[in-house]
Structure 1
Protein backbone atom coordinates (compact mmCIF):
# COMPACT_ATOMS: atom_id res chain seq x y z
CA UNK A 1 0.00 0.00 0.00
CA UNK A 2 1.31 3.45 -0.92
CA UNK A 3 2.30 6.03 1.65
CA UNK A 4 -0.28 8.40 0.23
CA UNK A 5 -3.13 6.28 1.50
CA UNK A 6 -1.71 5.64 4.93
CA UNK A 7 -1.21 9.35 5.62
CA UNK A 8 -4.58 10.55 4.37
CA UNK A 9 -8.23 10.38 5.38
CA UNK A 10 -10.97 8.60 3.50
CA UNK A 11 -14.42 10.14 3.28
CA UNK A 12 -17.57 8.12 3.97
CA UNK A 13 -20.60 9.42 2.10
CA UNK A 14 -22.95 8.02 4.76
CA UNK A 15 -26.36 9.70 4.84
CA UNK A 16 -25.06 13.12 3.87
CA UNK A 17 -28.12 13.66 1.63
CA UNK A 18 -30.27 14.27 4.70
CA UNK A 19 -28.49 17.43 5.81
CA UNK A 20 -31.73 19.21 6.68
CA UNK A 21 -32.87 16.47 9.05
CA UNK A 22 -29.64 15.29 10.64
CA UNK A 23 -31.04 15.39 14.18
CA UNK A 24 -34.07 13.33 13.18
CA UNK A 25 -31.88 10.79 11.35
CA UNK A 26 -29.53 10.52 14.34
CA UNK A 27 -32.42 9.97 16.78
CA UNK A 28 -33.94 7.34 14.48
CA UNK A 29 -30.65 5.44 14.14
CA UNK A 30 -30.05 5.71 17.88
CA UNK A 31 -33.55 4.37 18.59
CA UNK A 32 -33.03 1.44 16.20
CA UNK A 33 -29.64 0.63 17.73
CA UNK A 34 -30.97 0.73 21.32
CA UNK A 35 -33.91 -1.50 20.33
CA UNK A 36 -31.52 -3.88 18.54
CA UNK A 37 -29.26 -4.00 21.57
CA UNK A 38 -32.17 -4.58 23.97
CA UNK A 39 -33.87 -7.26 21.84
CA UNK A 40 -30.76 -9.31 21.17
CA UNK A 41 -29.40 -8.99 24.71
CA UNK A 42 -32.80 -10.13 26.00
CA UNK A 43 -32.62 -13.28 23.87
CA UNK A 44 -29.07 -14.02 25.07
CA UNK A 45 -30.13 -13.43 28.68
CA UNK A 46 -33.15 -15.74 28.38
CA UNK A 47 -31.12 -18.50 26.72
CA UNK A 48 -28.51 -18.35 29.48
CA UNK A 49 -31.03 -18.00 32.34
CA UNK A 50 -33.61 -20.71 31.61
CA UNK A 51 -32.56 -24.33 31.53
CA UNK A 52 -35.32 -25.44 29.14
CA UNK A 53 -33.73 -23.18 26.51
CA UNK A 54 -30.37 -24.94 26.82
CA UNK A 55 -30.87 -26.72 23.50
CA UNK A 56 -28.91 -26.58 20.23
CA UNK A 57 -31.51 -24.37 18.51
CA UNK A 58 -31.42 -21.71 21.23
CA UNK A 59 -27.65 -21.99 21.53
CA UNK A 60 -27.38 -21.04 17.85
CA UNK A 61 -30.01 -18.33 18.37
CA UNK A 62 -27.84 -16.85 21.12
CA UNK A 63 -24.88 -16.82 18.72
CA UNK A 64 -27.03 -15.14 16.08
CA UNK A 65 -28.11 -12.45 18.55
CA UNK A 66 -24.49 -11.76 19.52
CA UNK A 67 -23.55 -11.41 15.85
CA UNK A 68 -26.45 -9.03 15.25
CA UNK A 69 -25.22 -6.83 18.09
CA UNK A 70 -21.71 -6.75 16.62
CA UNK A 71 -22.96 -6.06 13.08
CA UNK A 72 -25.22 -3.25 14.23
CA UNK A 73 -22.46 -1.68 16.32
CA UNK A 74 -20.04 -1.66 13.39
CA UNK A 75 -22.54 -0.16 10.95
CA UNK A 76 -24.01 2.52 13.24
CA UNK A 77 -21.11 3.67 15.44
CA UNK A 78 -19.17 5.72 12.90
CA UNK A 79 -22.37 6.72 11.09
CA UNK A 80 -23.77 8.24 14.29
CA UNK A 81 -20.45 10.00 14.94
CA UNK A 82 -20.52 11.48 11.43
CA UNK A 83 -24.05 12.81 11.88
CA UNK A 84 -23.29 14.42 15.26
CA UNK A 85 -19.95 16.00 14.30
CA UNK A 86 -20.53 16.55 10.59
CA UNK A 87 -17.05 15.10 10.00
CA UNK A 88 -17.22 12.32 7.42
CA UNK A 89 -13.52 11.56 7.34
CA UNK A 90 -12.36 8.16 8.50
CA UNK A 91 -8.77 7.09 9.04
CA UNK A 92 -7.44 4.22 6.99
CA UNK A 93 -6.70 2.02 10.07
CA UNK A 94 -10.30 2.52 11.26
CA UNK A 95 -11.57 1.67 7.80
CA UNK A 96 -9.52 -1.54 7.66
CA UNK A 97 -10.71 -2.46 11.16
CA UNK A 98 -14.32 -2.13 10.03
CA UNK A 99 -13.58 -4.32 7.01
CA UNK A 100 -12.05 -7.03 9.20
CA UNK A 101 -14.81 -7.23 11.80
CA UNK A 102 -17.74 -6.91 9.40
CA UNK A 103 -16.32 -9.62 7.12
CA UNK A 104 -15.74 -11.85 10.14
CA UNK A 105 -19.19 -11.44 11.68
CA UNK A 106 -21.22 -11.69 8.45
CA UNK A 107 -19.33 -14.83 7.41
CA UNK A 108 -19.91 -16.40 10.82
CA UNK A 109 -23.63 -15.51 10.70
CA UNK A 110 -24.05 -17.40 7.43
CA UNK A 111 -22.56 -20.50 9.09
CA UNK A 112 -24.84 -20.16 12.12
CA UNK A 113 -27.91 -19.96 9.85
CA UNK A 114 -26.78 -23.14 8.07
CA UNK A 115 -26.40 -24.96 11.38
CA UNK A 116 -29.85 -23.80 12.49
CA UNK A 117 -31.36 -25.17 9.27
CA UNK A 118 -29.62 -28.51 9.88
CA UNK A 119 -30.98 -28.52 13.43
CA UNK A 120 -34.53 -28.05 12.10
CA UNK A 121 -33.95 -30.75 9.50
CA UNK A 122 -32.91 -33.31 12.10
CA UNK A 123 -35.69 -32.28 14.53
CA UNK A 124 -38.44 -32.69 11.91
CA UNK A 125 -37.12 -35.37 9.57
CA UNK A 126 -35.28 -37.57 12.11
CA UNK A 127 -36.82 -36.79 15.52
CA UNK A 128 -36.03 -40.21 17.00
CA UNK A 129 -32.32 -39.76 16.26
CA UNK A 130 -32.11 -36.11 17.27
CA UNK A 131 -30.16 -36.62 20.50
CA UNK A 132 -27.62 -38.87 18.77
CA UNK A 133 -27.15 -36.62 15.72
CA UNK A 134 -27.07 -33.25 17.54
CA UNK A 135 -25.87 -32.46 21.06
CA UNK A 136 -25.00 -29.32 22.98
CA UNK A 137 -21.34 -30.33 23.03
CA UNK A 138 -21.29 -30.86 19.26
CA UNK A 139 -22.99 -27.50 18.70
CA UNK A 140 -20.48 -25.75 20.95
CA UNK A 141 -17.57 -27.29 19.06
CA UNK A 142 -19.14 -26.49 15.68
CA UNK A 143 -19.83 -22.86 16.57
CA UNK A 144 -16.32 -22.42 17.99
CA UNK A 145 -14.76 -23.86 14.82
CA UNK A 146 -16.91 -21.57 12.66
CA UNK A 147 -15.95 -18.46 14.63
CA UNK A 148 -12.24 -19.32 14.41
CA UNK A 149 -12.41 -20.33 10.75
CA UNK A 150 -14.21 -17.16 9.70
CA UNK A 151 -11.73 -15.15 11.77
CA UNK A 152 -8.93 -16.65 9.67
CA UNK A 153 -10.82 -15.96 6.43
CA UNK A 154 -11.47 -12.36 7.45
CA UNK A 155 -7.83 -11.91 8.40
CA UNK A 156 -6.77 -13.18 4.97
CA UNK A 157 -9.17 -10.79 3.21
CA UNK A 158 -7.97 -7.89 5.34
CA UNK A 159 -4.27 -8.58 4.79
CA UNK A 160 -4.88 -8.70 1.04
CA UNK A 161 -6.84 -5.44 1.27
CA UNK A 162 -3.99 -3.70 3.13
CA UNK A 163 -1.70 -4.17 0.12
CA UNK A 164 -4.09 -2.20 -2.11
CA UNK A 165 -3.22 1.34 -3.14
CA UNK A 166 -6.22 3.60 -2.56
CA UNK A 167 -5.93 6.95 -4.40
CA UNK A 168 -6.52 10.16 -2.48
CA UNK A 169 -8.89 11.88 -2.12
CA UNK A 170 -11.35 8.98 -2.11
CA UNK A 171 -15.05 9.07 -1.32
CA UNK A 172 -16.53 5.75 -0.16
CA UNK A 173 -20.23 5.62 -1.18
CA UNK A 174 -21.41 3.72 1.88
CA UNK A 175 -22.28 3.84 5.56
CA UNK A 176 -19.00 2.22 6.61
CA UNK A 177 -15.99 0.57 5.00
CA UNK A 178 -16.64 -2.75 3.28
CA UNK A 179 -14.24 -5.08 1.52
CA UNK A 180 -15.73 -4.90 -1.97
CA UNK A 181 -15.68 -1.08 -1.86
CA UNK A 182 -11.94 -0.94 -1.16
CA UNK A 183 -11.29 -3.43 -3.96
CA UNK A 184 -13.34 -1.38 -6.43
CA UNK A 185 -11.69 1.89 -5.42
CA UNK A 186 -8.13 0.55 -5.61
CA UNK A 187 -5.81 1.77 -8.35
CA UNK A 188 -3.52 -1.26 -7.98
CA UNK A 189 -3.85 -4.85 -9.16
CA UNK A 190 -6.89 -6.43 -7.47
CA UNK A 191 -6.85 -9.83 -9.19
CA UNK A 192 -5.73 -11.68 -6.05
CA UNK A 193 -8.41 -9.98 -3.97
CA UNK A 194 -11.14 -10.92 -6.45
CA UNK A 195 -9.94 -14.53 -6.64
CA UNK A 196 -10.02 -14.94 -2.84
CA UNK A 197 -13.34 -13.08 -2.56
CA UNK A 198 -15.06 -15.15 -5.26
CA UNK A 199 -13.64 -18.41 -3.95
CA UNK A 200 -14.88 -17.57 -0.45
CA UNK A 201 -18.31 -16.50 -1.71
CA UNK A 202 -18.82 -19.55 -3.92
CA UNK A 203 -17.27 -22.14 -1.60
CA UNK A 204 -19.00 -21.05 1.59
CA UNK A 205 -21.69 -18.47 0.87
CA UNK A 206 -23.43 -20.23 -2.02
CA UNK A 207 -22.74 -23.66 -0.51
CA UNK A 208 -24.33 -22.54 2.75
CA UNK A 209 -27.40 -21.27 0.91
CA UNK A 210 -27.65 -24.55 -1.04
CA UNK A 211 -27.45 -26.64 2.16
CA UNK A 212 -30.16 -24.48 3.75
CA UNK A 213 -32.36 -24.73 0.64
CA UNK A 214 -31.90 -28.51 0.44
CA UNK A 215 -32.67 -28.92 4.16
CA UNK A 216 -35.98 -27.14 3.76
CA UNK A 217 -36.95 -29.22 0.75
CA UNK A 218 -36.70 -32.33 2.93
CA UNK A 219 -38.39 -30.51 5.83
CA UNK A 220 -41.43 -29.51 3.76
CA UNK A 221 -41.67 -32.97 2.21
CA UNK A 222 -41.77 -34.43 5.73
CA UNK A 223 -44.31 -31.86 6.93
CA UNK A 224 -46.65 -32.65 4.03
CA UNK A 225 -46.65 -36.31 5.09
CA UNK A 226 -47.81 -35.44 8.63
CA UNK A 227 -51.50 -36.35 8.82
CA UNK A 228 -52.34 -34.61 12.10
CA UNK A 229 -53.13 -30.91 11.59
CA UNK A 230 -51.68 -29.89 14.96
CA UNK A 231 -48.46 -31.72 14.11
CA UNK A 232 -48.12 -29.87 10.81
CA UNK A 233 -48.76 -26.53 12.50
CA UNK A 234 -46.16 -27.25 15.16
CA UNK A 235 -43.61 -28.24 12.49
CA UNK A 236 -44.32 -25.07 10.49
CA UNK A 237 -44.01 -22.99 13.65
CA UNK A 238 -40.65 -24.61 14.44
CA UNK A 239 -38.99 -23.49 11.21
CA UNK A 240 -41.01 -20.42 10.08
CA UNK A 241 -38.98 -17.93 12.16
CA UNK A 242 -35.65 -19.25 10.93
CA UNK A 243 -36.83 -19.40 7.33
CA UNK A 244 -37.95 -15.76 7.52
CA UNK A 245 -34.54 -14.71 8.87
CA UNK A 246 -32.79 -16.72 6.13
CA UNK A 247 -34.82 -14.98 3.41
CA UNK A 248 -34.03 -11.57 4.89
CA UNK A 249 -30.31 -12.35 5.26
CA UNK A 250 -29.70 -13.86 1.82
CA UNK A 251 -32.25 -11.64 0.07
CA UNK A 252 -30.75 -8.38 1.31
CA UNK A 253 -27.22 -9.70 0.68
CA UNK A 254 -28.21 -10.61 -2.88
CA UNK A 255 -29.60 -7.13 -3.54
CA UNK A 256 -26.64 -5.44 -1.86
CA UNK A 257 -23.71 -7.39 -3.28
CA UNK A 258 -24.65 -9.66 -6.18
CA UNK A 259 -27.09 -7.76 -8.39
CA UNK A 260 -25.71 -4.93 -10.57
CA UNK A 261 -25.23 -1.73 -8.64
CA UNK A 262 -27.64 1.09 -9.30
CA UNK A 263 -26.23 4.46 -10.33
CA UNK A 264 -28.40 6.02 -7.64
CA UNK A 265 -25.94 6.00 -4.73
CA UNK A 266 -28.66 7.09 -2.30
CA UNK A 267 -30.76 4.02 -3.16
CA UNK A 268 -27.71 1.79 -2.66
CA UNK A 269 -27.01 3.32 0.74
CA UNK A 270 -30.63 3.01 1.84
CA UNK A 271 -30.47 -0.66 0.86
CA UNK A 272 -27.30 -0.93 2.94
CA UNK A 273 -29.21 0.60 5.88
CA UNK A 274 -31.75 -2.21 5.65
CA UNK A 275 -29.06 -4.88 5.40
CA UNK A 276 -26.82 -3.67 8.20
CA UNK A 277 -29.07 -1.63 10.52
CA UNK A 278 -32.63 -2.94 10.25
CA UNK A 279 -31.94 -6.67 9.82
CA UNK A 280 -30.29 -7.04 13.28
CA UNK A 281 -33.42 -5.38 14.72
CA UNK A 282 -35.84 -7.62 12.82
CA UNK A 283 -34.25 -10.92 13.88
CA UNK A 284 -35.15 -10.78 17.62
CA UNK A 285 -38.62 -9.45 16.74
CA UNK A 286 -39.27 -12.34 14.36
CA UNK A 287 -38.10 -14.97 16.85
CA UNK A 288 -39.92 -13.37 19.78
CA UNK A 289 -43.26 -13.06 18.01
CA UNK A 290 -43.26 -16.53 16.49
CA UNK A 291 -41.66 -18.60 19.22
CA UNK A 292 -43.88 -19.79 22.06
CA UNK A 293 -40.96 -20.92 24.26
CA UNK A 294 -39.30 -17.50 24.09
CA UNK A 295 -42.58 -15.74 24.82
CA UNK A 296 -43.12 -18.09 27.74
CA UNK A 297 -39.63 -17.31 29.06
CA UNK A 298 -40.33 -13.57 28.82
CA UNK A 299 -43.61 -13.97 30.75
CA UNK A 300 -41.85 -16.04 33.40
CA UNK A 301 -39.12 -13.40 33.77
CA UNK A 302 -41.70 -10.59 34.06
CA UNK A 303 -43.69 -12.49 36.66
CA UNK A 304 -40.51 -13.11 38.67
CA UNK A 305 -39.70 -9.38 38.51
CA UNK A 306 -43.21 -8.53 39.73
CA UNK A 307 -42.83 -11.00 42.59
CA UNK A 308 -39.49 -9.50 43.64
CA UNK A 309 -40.83 -5.93 43.48
Structure 2
Protein backbone atom coordinates (compact mmCIF):
# COMPACT_ATOMS: atom_id res chain seq x y z
CA UNK A 1 0.00 0.00 0.00
CA UNK A 2 1.28 3.45 -0.83
CA UNK A 3 0.78 5.72 2.16
CA UNK A 4 -1.09 8.92 1.24
CA UNK A 5 1.19 11.92 0.83
CA UNK A 6 0.96 14.55 3.54
CA UNK A 7 0.48 17.95 1.96
CA UNK A 8 0.66 20.05 5.13
CA UNK A 9 1.20 19.36 8.80
CA UNK A 10 2.16 21.37 11.83
CA UNK A 11 5.30 20.85 13.88
CA UNK A 12 5.37 17.78 16.14
CA UNK A 13 3.44 18.13 19.38
CA UNK A 14 0.84 20.62 18.18
CA UNK A 15 -2.53 19.78 19.73
CA UNK A 16 -4.72 19.82 16.60
CA UNK A 17 -3.56 19.59 13.00
CA UNK A 18 -5.30 19.06 9.66
CA UNK A 19 -3.41 16.68 7.37
CA UNK A 20 -4.31 16.51 3.67
CA UNK A 21 -4.25 13.01 2.16
CA UNK A 22 -5.06 11.47 -1.20
CA UNK A 23 -6.90 8.14 -1.01
CA UNK A 24 -5.78 5.74 -3.74
CA UNK A 25 -8.42 3.96 -5.84
CA UNK A 26 -6.25 0.82 -5.66
CA UNK A 27 -7.78 0.26 -2.21
CA UNK A 28 -11.40 1.02 -3.06
CA UNK A 29 -14.61 -0.76 -4.02
CA UNK A 30 -16.79 2.22 -4.87
CA UNK A 31 -15.63 3.77 -1.56
CA UNK A 32 -12.38 3.24 0.35
CA UNK A 33 -11.63 -0.08 2.04
CA UNK A 34 -11.83 0.46 5.81
CA UNK A 35 -8.41 -1.00 6.56
CA UNK A 36 -6.81 1.49 4.16
CA UNK A 37 -8.59 4.39 5.86
CA UNK A 38 -7.25 3.15 9.21
CA UNK A 39 -3.68 2.99 7.87
CA UNK A 40 -3.98 6.57 6.58
CA UNK A 41 -5.05 7.70 10.06
CA UNK A 42 -2.04 5.98 11.59
CA UNK A 43 0.31 7.73 9.16
CA UNK A 44 -1.30 11.13 9.75
CA UNK A 45 -0.99 10.67 13.51
CA UNK A 46 2.66 9.64 13.17
CA UNK A 47 3.38 12.79 11.19
CA UNK A 48 1.70 15.14 13.65
CA UNK A 49 3.02 13.44 16.80
CA UNK A 50 6.56 13.22 15.45
CA UNK A 51 6.61 9.44 15.89
CA UNK A 52 7.56 8.30 12.40
CA UNK A 53 9.04 4.97 13.51
CA UNK A 54 6.65 4.26 16.39
CA UNK A 55 4.50 1.13 16.40
CA UNK A 56 0.71 1.46 16.58
CA UNK A 57 0.12 -0.93 19.46
CA UNK A 58 -3.60 -0.19 19.88
CA UNK A 59 -6.07 1.26 17.38
CA UNK A 60 -9.82 1.64 17.55
CA UNK A 61 -11.67 3.02 14.53
CA UNK A 62 -15.36 3.69 13.90
CA UNK A 63 -16.63 4.00 10.33
CA UNK A 64 -19.39 6.62 10.16
CA UNK A 65 -19.93 6.96 6.40
CA UNK A 66 -18.25 5.89 3.14
CA UNK A 67 -14.90 7.56 2.48
CA UNK A 68 -14.62 8.50 -1.21
CA UNK A 69 -11.51 8.03 -3.32
CA UNK A 70 -9.42 11.18 -3.69
CA UNK A 71 -8.58 14.15 -1.54
CA UNK A 72 -9.57 14.16 2.14
CA UNK A 73 -8.52 15.75 5.41
CA UNK A 74 -7.51 13.89 8.54
CA UNK A 75 -7.77 16.08 11.64
CA UNK A 76 -5.38 14.86 14.32
CA UNK A 77 -5.73 15.77 18.01
CA UNK A 78 -2.68 14.90 20.08
CA UNK A 79 -4.06 13.50 23.33
CA UNK A 80 -0.72 12.90 25.02
CA UNK A 81 2.93 12.56 24.09
CA UNK A 82 4.77 10.52 26.71
CA UNK A 83 7.98 8.58 27.11
CA UNK A 84 6.26 5.17 27.02
CA UNK A 85 3.18 5.89 24.92
CA UNK A 86 1.80 8.55 22.59
CA UNK A 87 -1.93 8.75 21.91
CA UNK A 88 -3.84 10.68 19.24
CA UNK A 89 -7.40 11.00 17.99
CA UNK A 90 -8.09 11.24 14.25
CA UNK A 91 -11.17 12.24 12.27
CA UNK A 92 -11.44 11.73 8.51
CA UNK A 93 -13.32 14.52 6.73
CA UNK A 94 -14.39 14.16 3.12
CA UNK A 95 -17.20 15.62 1.05
CA UNK A 96 -18.30 17.90 3.86
CA UNK A 97 -18.79 15.19 6.47
CA UNK A 98 -16.86 13.08 8.96
CA UNK A 99 -16.48 9.54 7.62
CA UNK A 100 -14.34 7.86 10.30
CA UNK A 101 -13.04 8.41 13.82
CA UNK A 102 -9.99 6.67 15.29
CA UNK A 103 -7.95 6.68 18.47
CA UNK A 104 -4.41 5.28 18.18
CA UNK A 105 -1.70 4.63 20.75
CA UNK A 106 1.95 4.34 19.73
CA UNK A 107 4.90 2.77 21.50
CA UNK A 108 8.57 3.47 20.68
CA UNK A 109 9.80 1.33 17.80
CA UNK A 110 12.27 -0.65 19.90
CA UNK A 111 9.69 -1.59 22.53
CA UNK A 112 7.81 -4.01 20.24
CA UNK A 113 9.75 -7.21 19.63
CA UNK A 114 10.25 -8.62 16.13
CA UNK A 115 9.72 -12.27 15.26
CA UNK A 116 12.84 -13.34 13.34
CA UNK A 117 10.96 -15.49 10.88
CA UNK A 118 11.32 -14.78 7.16
CA UNK A 119 9.07 -17.42 5.65
CA UNK A 120 8.17 -18.21 2.09
CA UNK A 121 4.97 -19.83 0.79
CA UNK A 122 6.76 -23.18 0.84
CA UNK A 123 7.12 -23.00 4.63
CA UNK A 124 4.04 -23.77 6.67
CA UNK A 125 2.97 -24.82 10.19
CA UNK A 126 2.01 -28.34 11.07
CA UNK A 127 -1.64 -29.16 10.25
CA UNK A 128 -2.49 -29.62 13.93
CA UNK A 129 -1.38 -26.05 14.59
CA UNK A 130 -3.60 -24.19 12.17
CA UNK A 131 -5.51 -26.81 10.18
CA UNK A 132 -4.17 -25.11 7.08
CA UNK A 133 -1.94 -26.59 4.39
CA UNK A 134 0.91 -24.99 2.51
CA UNK A 135 -0.53 -21.85 0.83
CA UNK A 136 1.36 -22.61 -2.37
CA UNK A 137 -0.73 -25.77 -2.63
CA UNK A 138 -4.00 -23.84 -2.54
CA UNK A 139 -5.50 -21.95 -5.48
CA UNK A 140 -6.07 -18.20 -5.05
CA UNK A 141 -9.63 -17.48 -3.98
CA UNK A 142 -12.21 -15.40 -5.81
CA UNK A 143 -11.08 -12.61 -3.50
CA UNK A 144 -7.70 -12.55 -5.20
CA UNK A 145 -8.94 -13.08 -8.74
CA UNK A 146 -12.02 -10.86 -8.88
CA UNK A 147 -12.13 -8.78 -12.03
CA UNK A 148 -13.27 -5.21 -11.63
CA UNK A 149 -12.11 -4.82 -8.04
CA UNK A 150 -8.79 -3.11 -7.51
CA UNK A 151 -8.78 -4.14 -3.83
CA UNK A 152 -9.03 -7.79 -4.79
CA UNK A 153 -5.76 -7.44 -6.69
CA UNK A 154 -3.95 -6.19 -3.58
CA UNK A 155 -4.46 -9.33 -1.49
CA UNK A 156 -3.48 -12.95 -2.05
CA UNK A 157 -5.98 -14.84 0.14
CA UNK A 158 -6.14 -18.63 0.34
CA UNK A 159 -8.02 -21.17 2.41
CA UNK A 160 -8.59 -24.91 2.46
CA UNK A 161 -12.27 -24.41 3.38
CA UNK A 162 -14.91 -24.08 0.69
CA UNK A 163 -16.54 -20.99 2.17
CA UNK A 164 -19.24 -20.94 -0.52
CA UNK A 165 -20.27 -24.55 0.07
CA UNK A 166 -22.71 -26.44 2.30
CA UNK A 167 -20.43 -26.95 5.31
CA UNK A 168 -19.83 -28.27 7.90
CA UNK A 169 -18.17 -25.04 8.94
CA UNK A 170 -15.24 -24.88 11.33
CA UNK A 171 -15.51 -23.05 14.64
CA UNK A 172 -12.16 -21.45 13.90
CA UNK A 173 -11.81 -20.31 10.29
CA UNK A 174 -8.16 -20.33 9.20
CA UNK A 175 -6.69 -18.87 6.04
CA UNK A 176 -3.45 -17.54 4.58
CA UNK A 177 -2.98 -14.05 3.22
CA UNK A 178 -0.31 -11.72 2.00
CA UNK A 179 -0.68 -8.06 1.10
CA UNK A 180 0.66 -7.74 -2.43
CA UNK A 181 -0.21 -4.04 -2.41
CA UNK A 182 1.83 -3.20 0.69
CA UNK A 183 4.94 -1.22 -0.28
CA UNK A 184 5.92 0.15 3.13
CA UNK A 185 8.27 -1.22 5.77
CA UNK A 186 7.64 -5.01 5.80
CA UNK A 187 7.81 -5.02 9.62
CA UNK A 188 5.42 -2.07 10.11
CA UNK A 189 2.46 -3.25 12.26
CA UNK A 190 0.22 -0.75 10.44
CA UNK A 191 -0.28 -3.42 7.76
CA UNK A 192 -2.14 -5.53 10.32
CA UNK A 193 -5.03 -3.06 9.98
CA UNK A 194 -5.48 -4.15 6.36
CA UNK A 195 -5.21 -7.84 7.16
CA UNK A 196 -7.65 -7.60 10.08
CA UNK A 197 -10.51 -6.00 8.13
CA UNK A 198 -11.57 -9.25 6.49
CA UNK A 199 -14.33 -11.40 8.01
CA UNK A 200 -16.68 -11.96 5.04
CA UNK A 201 -15.39 -15.43 4.10
CA UNK A 202 -15.60 -16.53 7.72
CA UNK A 203 -19.24 -15.48 7.87
CA UNK A 204 -19.95 -17.45 4.73
CA UNK A 205 -18.14 -20.42 6.22
CA UNK A 206 -20.57 -20.28 9.15
CA UNK A 207 -23.49 -20.66 6.77
CA UNK A 208 -24.71 -17.14 6.09
CA UNK A 209 -26.87 -17.13 2.97
CA UNK A 210 -25.12 -15.52 0.01
CA UNK A 211 -24.94 -13.00 -1.41
CA UNK A 212 -24.33 -10.30 1.18
CA UNK A 213 -22.28 -7.17 1.71
CA UNK A 214 -20.10 -6.61 4.73
CA UNK A 215 -19.85 -3.02 5.95
CA UNK A 216 -17.41 -2.65 8.84
CA UNK A 217 -18.75 -0.53 11.69
CA UNK A 218 -15.79 -0.80 14.05
CA UNK A 219 -12.36 -2.39 14.08
CA UNK A 220 -10.10 -2.69 17.14
CA UNK A 221 -6.57 -3.98 16.56
CA UNK A 222 -3.80 -4.67 19.09
CA UNK A 223 -0.19 -5.26 18.04
CA UNK A 224 1.74 -7.95 19.90
CA UNK A 225 4.88 -8.30 17.77
CA UNK A 226 6.42 -7.23 14.48
CA UNK A 227 7.25 -9.65 11.68
CA UNK A 228 8.82 -9.35 8.25
CA UNK A 229 7.00 -12.45 6.99
CA UNK A 230 4.96 -11.65 3.86
CA UNK A 231 2.52 -14.48 4.54
CA UNK A 232 0.30 -14.23 7.61
CA UNK A 233 -2.03 -16.85 9.02
CA UNK A 234 -5.47 -15.44 9.83
CA UNK A 235 -7.57 -17.21 12.43
CA UNK A 236 -11.17 -16.02 12.92
CA UNK A 237 -13.93 -16.95 15.37
CA UNK A 238 -17.37 -15.54 14.54
CA UNK A 239 -19.05 -14.67 17.84
CA UNK A 240 -22.48 -13.54 16.68
CA UNK A 241 -24.29 -13.26 13.38
CA UNK A 242 -27.59 -11.61 12.47
CA UNK A 243 -28.13 -8.40 10.58
CA UNK A 244 -24.88 -7.55 12.33
CA UNK A 245 -21.82 -9.71 12.95
CA UNK A 246 -19.05 -9.79 15.54
CA UNK A 247 -15.77 -11.65 15.02
CA UNK A 248 -12.50 -12.06 16.89
CA UNK A 249 -9.32 -12.47 14.88
CA UNK A 250 -5.70 -13.44 15.37
CA UNK A 251 -2.87 -12.83 12.93
CA UNK A 252 0.04 -15.25 13.21
CA UNK A 253 3.34 -15.89 11.51
CA UNK A 254 3.58 -19.12 9.48
CA UNK A 255 5.47 -20.51 12.48
CA UNK A 256 2.46 -19.99 14.72
CA UNK A 257 3.50 -16.84 16.65
CA UNK A 258 0.67 -14.39 17.30
CA UNK A 259 1.55 -10.89 16.06
CA UNK A 260 -1.83 -9.13 16.39
CA UNK A 261 -5.38 -9.57 17.65
CA UNK A 262 -8.56 -7.80 16.53
CA UNK A 263 -12.30 -7.52 17.03
CA UNK A 264 -14.59 -6.41 14.23
CA UNK A 265 -18.25 -5.39 14.22
CA UNK A 266 -19.97 -5.31 10.84
CA UNK A 267 -23.40 -4.82 9.29
CA UNK A 268 -24.61 -7.36 6.73
CA UNK A 269 -26.90 -6.24 3.92
CA UNK A 270 -28.30 -8.09 0.89
CA UNK A 271 -26.38 -7.93 -2.36
CA UNK A 272 -27.40 -8.55 -5.96
CA UNK A 273 -25.84 -11.12 -8.27
CA UNK A 274 -24.04 -8.29 -10.05
CA UNK A 275 -22.20 -7.49 -6.81
CA UNK A 276 -20.47 -10.87 -6.64
CA UNK A 277 -17.80 -12.03 -6.04
CA UNK A 278 -16.84 -8.89 -4.12
CA UNK A 279 -19.90 -8.54 -1.89
CA UNK A 280 -19.00 -11.65 0.08
CA UNK A 281 -15.29 -10.96 0.48
CA UNK A 282 -15.53 -8.90 3.64
CA UNK A 283 -13.94 -5.88 2.01
CA UNK A 284 -17.28 -4.14 2.37
CA UNK A 285 -18.94 -1.54 0.25
CA UNK A 286 -19.13 1.03 3.02
CA UNK A 287 -22.85 1.64 2.81
CA UNK A 288 -24.85 -0.35 5.36
The structure with higher relative contact order (CA 8 Å, sep 6+) is: 1
TM-score normalized by structure 2?
A: 0.26
Q: Please report the TM-score for the alignment, with normalisation by the length of structure 1.
A: 0.25
Q: Which protein has the larger Cα radius of gyration, Structure 1 or Structure 2?
A: 1
More helix by share: 1
Q: Of Structure 1 and Structure 2, which has the larger fraction of its residues in strand?
A: 2
